[in-house]
Chains A and B, each alone.
Chain A
Amino acid sequence: MFELPSGAEIQSIISILKSGLGFFIPEIYLSILFMGLIILDLALKGRNKSGILGWATLIGLGGSFYFIAQQHAMQAGEHFFGMYVLDEYAIFFKYFFVASGMFAVVATLADRKFDAEVKSIGEYYALVVAMVIGMVMMAAASDLLMIFLAMELVSLSAYILSGYFKRDARSSEAALKYLVYGAVSSGLMLYGFSLIYGMTAETNILKISMELADHGYDPLVMILATLLIMAGFGYKIGAFPFHFWSPDVYEGAPTPITAYLSVASKAAGFALLLRFFYIAVPHGVSPYEDILGIDWLTLLVIMSVASMIYGNVVAIWQKNVKRLLAYSSIAHAGYLLLGVIVMDEIGTQAVLFYLLSYFLMNYAAFYVVVLISNRTGSETLDDYRGLGSKMPLAGAALTVFLISLVGLPPTVGFIGKLMIFSALLSKGALYIWLALIGVLTSVISLYYYMLIPLNMFLRESLEPNEKSLNPGFLAQLMMAVLMILTIWFGLFFEPLSEFARYSSAMFGLSLY
């Protein structure tokens, strides 16, 4: 069967692995952090355990920035036999995911609901780090096997994290739903992968692309394969029609994890989707034209339009703020897909910028939701009544974040939308109709987002007591800073957009 490799071959394999390690330092560091946190958890006892672990995670994650920053100096390239790439695009997402992890930890430290669940908090923080590792790998994976492994690492961590409140039935329900949907979509995606492997006998996405270009393919099989793969990616980005898990999971999971999933997990899905479709799967040009007249781009257009309409319309009837934000995040997946559809540097830049803006405004919104739920113990719209006078800063901050999510100036969310629509219109009249759907659905989104400020400011509290609720100095400061950042980057967005443009360089991307 298999021939045993000769000594020289083994030597060369080892040397390739060794040379790859130099490009893998942040991931190694994060893995050590993961194990260190578990050990620290075992060693610690007493009441302050949660705080110490949280801060250790925060500092540990922050430390990884140092190692990531050093990667800018390295040559973009493939490592570990084409399993893994290092390019500016991957580095962008490394920053993104580590920062997401840190924000999830900050939100967890602020969330009082965790006080009752302090027993297994060590695993919780370790799993947050594990998820960061998985997502970092998703953004850098360039091989079907690696993609699958990275996605499973993220998913498995996420299943446990969303079910972290064991005594809360909704949390457990969320975890189970997430698991079932996740398992199905992974299975479908694997089937898609196997079809691609069957056509090309390759697992590396660059080689797949070359193989498809050289030898052609059966378009029917190709569309089937991309459809199946989209089930996996669509599940991660939470786009229609693969969104069914998200409202229940977002509502049931601990709020910091909801925020984490809605931002980081979605971004990881997009990181993968962009790289996979831009590099591996051909589009358009004559030899690839298929008999059905549709290719993966058409699929994305359909998904995008359906997500924007469905997410924005269904959100109108939501009574729970987390659920409302869940539906809105489906809509945001639709907007992000618009940027993917453009298929050029401006589109990629717009997607990356939108992800940055979404990071800021969505995390910030969930952070305020955590603070409010600390005080009121509730996340329903009715319990937001009259909060504006009791927590003025929280009310004002949440309003700014929601306005940003709608996409109104002068906030960063507006610039995100502006970039997406600019990218669409830079193609001339081709995508005007998509831009039209985009802006019209964002008008719809205004209605449901404004339901929150409506209840906070325009309505009186159901139980009239004028006691003001102070979320604490640090939390106030944090909210103020986030609010100022949201507006600041709405007015002076050059650094962010430059960063996004610089990071849109993907290794192996030659043809658009």
Chain B
Amino acid sequence: MLSLIVFLPVIAGLIILAVPSSQKQIIRIVSLLAAVVQMVLAVMIWRGYDPSLAGITAMAGGMPEGSFQFIERLPWISLDLGNMGSMNIEYFLGVDGLSITMVILTALVSTIGVLSSWTIKKQVKGYFLLYNLLATAMMGCFVALDFFLFYVFWELMLLPMYFLIGIWGGPNREYAAIKFFLYTLFGSVFMLLVMIGLYFSVIDPLTGNHTFSLVAMASQENYIKDAILGPDNAMWRYVAFIVLFIGFAIKVPMFPFHTWLPDAHVEAPTPISVILAGVLLKLGTYGMMRINFPLFPEVFQASMYVIGVFGAINIIYGAFCALAQQDLKKMVAYSSISHMGYVLLGLAAANSEGMTGALYQMFNHGTITAMLFLLVGVIYDRAHTRQIDKFGGLASYMPVYAGIVTVAWFASLGLPGLSGFISEAFVFVGAFSSETTRYIAMVSVLGIVFGAAYLLWSLQRMFLGKRKDDAAYDLVTGPDGQEQIHFHDWNGKLDLDGRELAMLIPLVVITIFLGIYPMPIMGLMTTTVNHLVEVLSPVMMAVVN
């Protein structure tokens, strides 16, 4: 099941490879089919998922069954290293409460990304090949439970992303693409070293061999005492935690490692922005929750405050930057940075509320930001500009568009009744109830105010009022005598067309539904989050040592 959902896009990619590149429609439809089937599989996994199992660590005795679900475990490579024993790499997939929500999110966003890719005209075959490779890599990252496998998927994302930004991107795409690539690789090479170090420090209780299994690594009793990352080597454990954290923080992106994100977003084509904001950023925080924190809980305990401070900086700094942007897409990109700050703050709180809020915020941010970038793409397609002050009074001419924009914008600023509110509320409840993050939370609340400021201000400038003199469109009188607007070089429907509605309506529905009744998603994660909190808590660690 999980293998199928991971490799389905690659299979679609192989089919596309056989289709001649002139058959653009077939290529698109094959990709869409793969994505839809992936979505169906995700729903089936969701239906079959038992939310009472904990995940994160193995059950007593080291068996992952009974803790993880949909497990697929095969020996992949067994490497004889002479007197160092053998290096065992497994093909090990499984989901728990952390990954199940991300699997659903990934399937959803990939499908919407394919729909959004319909407007790609240049080198369609190459585009969808890379797109499908990217989809596989993302999904693989979320379900891999072997560190080696995780690393392979993690790195596999970089190359397709590089080309997707670099070939189909905007004018400054070369710079943005290589910047993204270098930044992320810089973070992940350290992860490689930590991975090797962990390998030499952890013994799988089932086999007695060294292992890459993240499940075994999450239990502190599996560590060899005097190994390089064993409990006796406190210094190296700190170093490993920090470099691993930086690796994931680059992906989040956390201040001060965020500078690649605005560049990448502004240059990337719309579907890739959607994927980038909707799924890729979550990999950073997912990696922290899956790998960074449970493997080094005592270091996490010591650094919660710092993580919280960085979260607050992200929230406020991102909001301030968004406030200053003239380019709508850049504004949304900075709003992403701000919203990922909430995730960091929730993680730093290290209690059930905070962690649940963080994980739920990851899901909601995925859907809401996907919506925001799609909406930016809609207007960019028509006007060929994203400058906020080139618009004005759009609401009266594009009512459907304006309506959906309003829902998305309000969801983003955390209006009660929409999904963003619940996750942010949980984050703040968690942060206030934790001794460590209480004061940080007080400062972070300001972020909500600034968030409302940039979102409402942009809404006002673009959609309310009247057409400006230097606007990106003309006012013409339509066939029905009504005054309407005309974009240069745009022959399609003025307001949203069917394809655009097909992408946006599901997201709007999800946003509203999960704002009123969050349990379908939140119910999946409770047990796992509670267990994670337990694993990370000082009491638990005292028992182990």
* Interface of A toward B, CB cutoff 8 Å: 345-346, 349, 389, 392, 399, 403, 408-410, 414, 417-418, 421-422, 425-426, 428-429, 432, 435-436, 439-440, 442-443, 446-447, 450, 453-454, 457-459, 492-494, 497-498, 501
* Cβ–Cβ < 8 Å partners of B185 in chain A: 408, 443, 446
CA distance A428 to B230 in the complex (A): 11
Category for how many chain B residues contact A: 35 or more
B159 in contact with A408 (CB, 8 Å): yes
The answer to whether A418 and B192 touch (CB under 8 A), given A446-B181, A454-B174, A457-B163, is yes
* Cβ–Cβ < 8 Å partners of A392 in chain B: 126
B8-44 toward A: CB 8 Å interface, digit per residue (1/0)?
0000000000000000000000000000000000000
Q: From B83, B87, B173, B190, give the contact of A439 (CB < 8 A).
A: B190
B166 in contact with A408 (CB, 8 Å): no
* Cβ–Cβ < 8 Å partners of B181 in chain A: 446, 450
A439 in contact with B178 (CB, 8 Å): no
A425 in contact with B77 (CB, 8 Å): no
* Cβ–Cβ < 8 Å partners of B197 in chain A: 425
A458 in contact with B77 (CB, 8 Å): no
CA distance A454 to B179 in the complex (A): 13
Most B-side CB within 10 Å, residue of A410, A439, A492, A498? A439
CA distance A322 to B246 in the complex (A): 35
A421 in contact with B196 (CB, 8 Å): yes
How distant is A322 from chain B, measured CB to nearest CB, in Å? 22
Q: From B80, B158, B186, give the contact of A408 (CB < 8 A).
A: B158
Q: Which residue of B lies closest to A410 (CB)?
A: B152
B192 in contact with A346 (CB, 8 Å): no
Q: Which residue of A lies closest to B187 (CB)?
A: A443
* Cβ–Cβ < 8 Å partners of B186 in chain A: 440, 443
Summarize A's interface: helix, strand, loop or mixed. helix
Q: Which residue of A lies closest to B122 (CB)?
A: A389
A425 in contact with B196 (CB, 8 Å): yes
Is B542 located at the chain interface by the 8 A CB criterion? Answer: no
B69-98 toward A: CB 8 Å interface, digit per residue (1/0)?
000000001111111100100000000000
CA distance A508 to B155 in the complex (A): 42
The answer to whether A439 and B192 touch (CB under 8 A), given A389-B123, A454-B166, is yes
The answer to whether A426 and B200 touch (CB under 8 A), given A346-B82, A458-B167, is yes
A389-B123, A408-B158 given; 16 more Cβ-contact pairs under 8 Å: A346-B81, A410-B155, A414-B155, A421-B192, A429-B233, A432-B193, A439-B192, A443-B182, A443-B185, A447-B178, A454-B174, A459-B174, A492-B77, A494-B77, A497-B80, A501-B81
* Cβ–Cβ < 8 Å partners of A408 in chain B: 155, 158-159, 185
The answer to whether A497 and B190 touch (CB under 8 A), given A410-B156, A450-B162, is no
* Cβ–Cβ < 8 Å partners of B199 in chain A: 422
Most B-side CB within 10 Å, residue of A426, A498, A501? A426
CA distance A235 to B481 in the complex (A): 84
How distant is B379 from chain A, measured CB to nearest CB, in Å? 26
A501 in contact with B152 (CB, 8 Å): no
Is B257 located at the chain interface by the 8 A CB criterion? Answer: no
How distant is B241 from chain A, measured CB to nearest CB, in Å? 15
A349 in contact with B228 (CB, 8 Å): no
A349 in contact with B178 (CB, 8 Å): no
Q: From A432, A446, A494, give the contact of B79 (CB < 8 A).
A: A494
The answer to whether A457 and B193 touch (CB under 8 A), given A410-B152, A446-B181, A494-B79, is no
* Cβ–Cβ < 8 Å partners of A497 in chain B: 79-80
B152 in contact with A409 (CB, 8 Å): yes
Is B151 located at the chain interface by the 8 A CB criterion? Answer: yes
Q: From B81, B155, B192, B196, give the contact of A349 (CB < 8 A).
A: B81
Q: From A414, A421, A458, A493, give the contact of B173 (CB < 8 A).
A: A458
A346 in contact with B84 (CB, 8 Å): yes
Is B464 located at the chain interface by the 8 A CB criterion? Answer: no
B178 in contact with A454 (CB, 8 Å): yes
CA distance A349 to B228 in the complex (A): 22
Q: From A403, A410, A421, give the contact of B193 (CB < 8 A).
A: A421
The answer to whether A345 and B82 touch (CB under 8 A), given A409-B156, A458-B174, A492-B77, is yes
Is B189 located at the chain interface by the 8 A CB criterion? Answer: yes
Is B177 located at the chain interface by the 8 A CB criterion? Answer: yes
How distant is A445 from chain B, measured CB to nearest CB, in Å? 10
B156 in contact with A418 (CB, 8 Å): no
Q: Which residue of A lies closest to B183 (CB)?
A: A443
CA distance A504 to B163 in the complex (A): 40
CA distance A457 to B167 in the complex (A): 7
B192-235 toward A: CB 8 Å interface, digit per residue (1/0)?
11001101100000000000000000000000000010000100
Most B-side CB within 10 Å, residue of A417, A446, A498? A446
How distant is A308 from chain B, measured CB to nearest CB, in Å? 13
The answer to whether A429 and B236 touch (CB under 8 A), given A442-B189, A443-B186, is yes
In order of increasing CB-CB distance, the 10 nearest A-B pairs are: A439-B189, A409-B152, A345-B82, A458-B166, A425-B196, A409-B155, A443-B186, A408-B155, A422-B196, A497-B79
How distant is B230 from chain A, measured CB to nearest CB, in Å? 10
* Cβ–Cβ < 8 Å partners of A432 in chain B: 193, 236
B130-165 toward A: CB 8 Å interface, digit per residue (1/0)?
000000000000000000000110011011001100
CA distance A435 to B177 in the complex (A): 27
CA distance A490 to B233 in the complex (A): 32
How distant is B167 from chain A, measured CB to nearest CB, in Å? 6
How distant is B95 from chain A, measured CB to nearest CB, in Å? 22
* Cβ–Cβ < 8 Å partners of B80 in chain A: 497-498, 501
* Cβ–Cβ < 8 Å partners of A414 in chain B: 155
* Cβ–Cβ < 8 Å partners of B192 in chain A: 417-418, 421, 439
CA distance A392 to B173 in the complex (A): 21
B82 in contact with A439 (CB, 8 Å): no
Q: Which residue of B lies closest to A450 (CB)?
A: B178
Q: From B84, B158, B189, B193, give the contact of A426 (CB < 8 A).
A: B84
Q: From B152, B155, B200, give the contact of A425 (CB < 8 A).
A: B200
CA distance A403 to B77 in the complex (A): 22
* Cβ–Cβ < 8 Å partners of B236 in chain A: 429, 432
B105-127 toward A: CB 8 Å interface, digit per residue (1/0)?
00000000000000000010010
CA distance A392 to B130 in the complex (A): 14
How distant is B260 from chain A, measured CB to nearest CB, in Å? 14
15 contacts between A and B (CB under 8 A): A345-B82, A346-B81, A392-B126, A408-B185, A414-B155, A418-B196, A421-B192, A426-B200, A432-B193, A439-B189, A443-B182, A443-B186, A450-B162, A457-B163, A458-B174
A493 in contact with B84 (CB, 8 Å): no
CA distance A442 to B193 in the complex (A): 13
B189 in contact with A440 (CB, 8 Å): yes
CA distance A439 to B243 in the complex (A): 13
* Cβ–Cβ < 8 Å partners of A494 in chain B: 77-79
CA distance A408 to B78 in the complex (A): 20
* Cβ–Cβ < 8 Å partners of A428 in chain B: 228
A436 in contact with B193 (CB, 8 Å): yes
How distant is A450 from chain B, measured CB to nearest CB, in Å? 6
* Cβ–Cβ < 8 Å partners of A446 in chain B: 181-182, 185
CA distance A440 to B151 in the complex (A): 17
B182 in contact with A429 (CB, 8 Å): no
CA distance A446 to B159 in the complex (A): 11
CA distance A442 to B182 in the complex (A): 10
